[in-house]
Structure 1
């Protein structure tokens, strides 16, 4: 079979539990449910860093953020790194980005890494043949001068951007909003722009349902807040101080249940808007005869706590509410189970797509290909655990350090805490198995959760003597993982003598 087309659909800041496919009773997403019917839902998929740029950068290099030395949301991929679209382009694919970037430097001159930029650089316009960008709100390339799209964008920024829990109904018609315009751009690309002589790789990257939390009708009022499932209340007893700081700095101590329900309902409406847009994209693929030879992945870069643990958006710690992401995949000829509990990390995307395209995986790639599972290889063994990283070097903020903070969730003098440099000070790593999660922070604090008995991660057992054995076992696994994942680049090509070379020499003399 000739090389398949590759379509990577990514939303921004969407937790797996927002979808009916992951048990949400309030939100139907027919397009994604149809995708799952011809593919597979990975029930246990996780980002490798709970913020946009590090997560996306790890996904597009197949390398962990600590390997990339990319440890904060202001950093982008080192242009010297080898990336997925770069490799695909070198092997004959037409590459396209439609939507939000926040991973690739726009120009070589933008680099802040020492040593200059190589000729074969992973910068935006070097690795993508077709670039149509979009930002949070409603600005999309090709429509930036549209007066109605401008009004939609200005309303979103003015009313729903500057305060921690700003949200609302955008008065613009849906046809002038970013999600719709990205769908139009994607359909136009499929029908008029793509080179039919080449397979395509397209990153369709929606900036929603990230803030600003707003949507046009009919999506803004699609979900009744009374029907929205709510997480259990976390008292934050025995939780790391950084969790308590985030709770206060996002004014969540002043947010009641009714407000959180309204924000969650808007968030769900934004997701349904994306789903309806994907229905049009999938219909166009059917019409053009592309579906049967296209690998499709739907995922998100990280989640949004949406009130769980008294937190909004994402933060520098490791609850499932902002690390557990949707991961739905369809591949030509797939005939396996419709759901699987096999653990997946976003770092696995690059090797998976390259192997399905018949392209060698570059040295230094640290992800694990899912292609053997998708192809029914009986020798495939799933991961035993997943690892998530977060944080910059530095001393994390303490509750006693807080002198200025929002007085209420609509206080426009302050932005959400996760946008502040200070919020990401203090490194941490988490290891998660099916049954347990251990989080270790450079400050000496930690968290340990029995996920079978405490799936909402409310009772921290980090210092519980009854859990000492599992605590030690997970720490040992994490330490072994850290040694295993240490970068193997550059490859050692200077030493020619090895036991294998001696064996080969001896065998030729026989």
Structure 2
């Protein structure tokens, strides 16, 4: 079973040190399974990341770099997650937000689709709630949502998932994909969640709008755009964060409800649960909302928790893993071969306490950009749609212009861009990435090592598809570094 959230930060639960207890049930599951503290998305945008989840490939290889590309014909891939599970005899259930190329009822045995302001509404109350969601223009709101919890999409999605599971063929295994549009904007939540986290007790952010000004480029461009559309919006940053935290608790309560039903039906003991997000949210860091500029930790770092079916209890703080690693991990968990063209690495040995080469997971990369050259800071190019009223698109032609790739290793982070200077940050000293040390002589050796590691990843992400007449020698578990590097 997958439980996926949209735009959930990795650092906003008490289990990883956040000052508020936003998701106690999720933390309890993590305490009984494996939590990956260093999990990253392949791209801080929904469709590219979700396509990586399905294909085990990075955006530069599966070719989906924009949220507007959700057609199966656009995707470069071999067998994907659904192909593997279908081939293994699994029933396939989907409830929630898709925002990826596997978005049709014929892809599944049972299918219920939701969006951020779209749902399979059948009652007057449901239609009224969806109309209200559209009216708040992606939020955040300053008052509680005037509709009950039962109309919220996470509640309804879990209800649909439960119905799908209960109607299954008990003689066949099943895969359930439960995907909440929240805590993505529109930022809204009803009582008791709206008042659950007092604005005055919201932990302070590390940096506000001055950080966007200092970083410049797309950060400042996006900050100026939102200020133009919604003057003074950042004055309400504590309310925005409090609502975001309330949304997390609402999701957590629905996860508790879903797991509780599995337990009642005697299914929990044989369920492998993978919880993750596609990317994060600024949550007021840099004086920004949503996502858009750059690949800071707030966006690129994601939660990833695995529980059940032989998964050991461990708090993994050292291995760098990716959303692209999920497909090969599932393949080995169910005893199926990893399809040709998959670039992610199996985590199954790591999850079950078997031996694995630490060097294979010593670094990870994330990608960003629609291609071409970056637009200048004063650009006014055609954008994704007309920006009427307070409406704006954070993933636009400016913020996503050009191409970038970043690598994480140890406590460092290095960026290379299609044009312009690179970036290098020591995240222990500079978690907000405000002091670029790319040209710092004292980090010359660190930069050289990171650039070498990034080059190795660039070679690794060369596409193996389509396969011609000759067969490639495949790496066991998709680990490309040999056992000689074991423990490095």
Secondary structure at the residue paired with 1:401?
coil
C-alpha distance in 1, partners of 2:418/2:315?
A: 40
Q: Say if 1:494 and 1:283 are closer, same or farther in 2 by CA, change over 3 A.
A: closer
Q: Which runs of 5+ in 2 are unaligned?
A: 473-488
Task: Name which of 77, 85, 104 aligns with 1:88.
Answer: 85
Cα pair 1:11 1:208 within 8 Å, conserved: yes
Q: Deviations over 1:422-477 (max 9, x none)?
A: 33111111011121001122231432110122223222212323323322321222
- Aligned position for 2:327: 350
Q: Say if 1:105 and 1:289 are closer, same or farther in 2 by CA, change over 3 A.
A: closer
- Aligned position for 1:220: 194
The answer on 1:27 being equivalent to 2:7 is no
Q: Say if 1:329 and 1:167 are closer, same or farther in 2 by CA, change over 3 A.
A: farther
Secondary structure at the residue paired with 2:11?
helix
How far is the alpha carbon of 1:403 from its aligned partner?
9.8
Q: Which runs of 5+ in 1 are unaligned?
A: 1-6, 107-123, 406-410, 497-510
C-alpha distance in 1, partners of 2:382/2:286?
A: 22
How far is the alpha carbon of 1:334 from its aligned partner?
2.7
How far is the alpha carbon of 1:402 from its aligned partner?
5.0
Q: Say if 1:435 and 1:61 are closer, same or farther in 2 by CA, change over 3 A.
A: same
How far is the alpha carbon of 1:420 from its aligned partner?
2.6
Which moved further from structure 2: 176-185 or 29-38? 29-38
Task: Name which of 330, 347, 354 aligns with 1:370.
Answer: 347
Task: Name which of 124, 128, 131 aligns with 2:108.
Answer: 128
Task: Name which of 335, 357, 369 aligns with 1:391.
Answer: 369
- Aligned position for 1:70: 64
Rg larger for:
1
How far is the alpha carbon of 1:258 from its aligned partner?
4.6
Superposed CA RMSD in Å reads 2.4
Written as runs of structure 1 = structure 2, the 5 A alignment for 1:249-260 is 249-251=225-227, 255=232, 258-260=235-237
Which moved further from structure 2: 487-496 or 335-344? 487-496
- Aligned position for 1:500: none
How far is the alpha carbon of 1:94 from its aligned partner?
0.4
C-alpha distance in 2, partners of 1:494/1:403?
A: 46
How many aligned residue pairs are there? 462
Which moved further from structure 2: 215-224 or 332-341? 332-341
Cα pair 1:99 1:206 within 8 Å, conserved: yes
Q: Say if 1:54 and 1:167 are closer, same or farther in 2 by CA, change over 3 A.
A: farther
C-alpha distance in 2, partners of 1:36/1:293?
A: 17
- Aligned position for 1:298: 275
Written as runs of structure 1 = structure 2, the 5 A alignment for 1:94-493 is 94-104=91-101, 106=103, 124-137=104-117, 139-141=118-120, 144-161=121-138, 165=140, 168-191=143-166, 193-233=167-207, 234-236=210-212, 239=215, 241-251=217-227, 255=232, 258-381=235-358, 382-401=360-379, 413-493=389-469
Secondary structure at the residue paired with 1:206?
strand
